[in-house]
Amino acid sequence: MGHPVDKETKIFAAQIRAGRGLLDWSQDDLATRSGISRTVIARLEAGQTDARTSTTLSIRSAFKTAGLRLVDDDGGWFGVLTSRKSTSHWDDNTSS
């Protein structure tokens, strides 16, 4: 088996998955927007590798451009914040 995964790695992995889910992005979509390979994104999401600082910044930047913020503050809070704009694909513009 691989090395033990620390809490920060698990949190970042969950944030990536949540962010992609909120935006309805595939791993390929995030790879294209962040400039990080899909293989690395998959490994990050699975907790199989720690993110380099540059990788973390690229992923955070891609999400920020789309209206999402990965939250990880010193007060112990973490999660994903989204703007209404970034979830506009959820709008039901069809008539019943």
Tell me the domains of the chain and their CATH numbers.
7-85 (1.10.260.40)
DSSP string, 27-86: HHHHHHHHT--HHHHHHHHTT-SPPPHHHHHHHHHHHHHTTEEEEE-TTS-EEEEE-TGG
Is the separation of the CB atoms in 41 and 30 below 8 Å? yes
d(CA 84, CA 96): 23
User: Tens digit of pLDDT per residue, the chain (96 long)?
Assistant: 456 678 888 899 999 999 999 999 999 999 999 999 999 999 999 988 888 889 999 999 999 999 999 998 767 788 898 887 766 666 665 444
What is the pTM for the complete model shown?
Answer: 0.82
Give the angle subtended at the CA of 19 by the CAs of 78 and 59, to the nearest 5°: 90
